[in-house]
Amino acid sequence: MILAALPSRVKSNLSQSDEAYNQIRSMIVSLELEPGSLINESELMDRLGFGRTPIREALRTLAGEKLVDVYPRRGMFVASVDVQNLSSISEVRAVLEIKAASLAAQRSTPEDRETTIALIAEIDAIKGAPNMKKLIQLDQRIHRHIYKSTHNSFLETSLEQYYGHALRIWFLALDRVEDLSEAVIEHRALLIAIRDSDSDGAAKAMRDHVEGFEGSIRKNL
């Protein structure tokens, strides 16, 4: 409602800030921007094609998510990836993701279920040695779909932040993980439970997934 009343220039700046945030966040999560590296605003402006204001607003948001570290008189740096945080991240995800899976099973709309069915079909189509990048993208789409299907924007936002931190650790271990396709395929049981409105089954499947993720990362790192 407020956005509709804003001047077009302000709306454009907000839109650019959101897009800059999405792109920079993706670069940080995938480790394309190396952990601990100095963030150069001018380089980001040239690379992404945004002005200084959208870039700064995006970086300020990312600092609030602990993906960017700000040091007065030194600058901004990509947050380091500390594997020691894995337990803490998993503790939070074990509570929030399990609740999200249960709510998604209860609250999915017919449109949500269509997406769930399509994702199950994508999992069923995985064969041989799939492309790792495509697998990770599929994993992200599955989790984000579940978060969205809770129809709780506060929960969705919180989960997206913690999932981003978990993904950074996953990318750190990526070259050592041998069963990446299995980690994605195991979402099938979770999605089927959500499709069938089985909240208890969805919660159990998500619990198994989060615990399995932590165990796999610990084994490989």
The pLDDT assigned to 83 comes to 81
Q: Which of 78, 220, 104 is nearest to 159 (CA)?
A: 104
Q: What is the pTM of this model?
A: 0.81
The pLDDT assigned to 13 comes to 46
The whole-angstrom separation of Cα 196 and Cα 55 is: 43
Q: Which residues of 169-186 are buried (b: 16+ CB within 10 A; e: fewer)?
A: bbbbbeeebeebbebbbb
The pLDDT assigned to 152 comes to 98
The pLDDT assigned to 10 comes to 36
In which residue are the tokens 């407020």 written?
A: 2
The whole-angstrom separation of Cα 143 and Cα 151 is: 14
DSSP H helices, the chain, are 8-29, 41-48, 52-64, 86-107, 110-124, 132-149, 153-173, 180-185, 187-195, 199-220
Domains and CATH numbers, the chain: 3-78 (1.10.10.10), 83-220 (1.20.120.530)
The pLDDT assigned to 73 comes to 87
- Return averaged pLDDT per consecutive 10 residues of the chain, 221 residues in all: 37 72 93 94 95 94 95 93 86 94 98 98 82 83 96 95 89 70 87 98 93 78 64
Q: Which of 153, 181, 169 is nearest to 85 (CA)?
A: 169
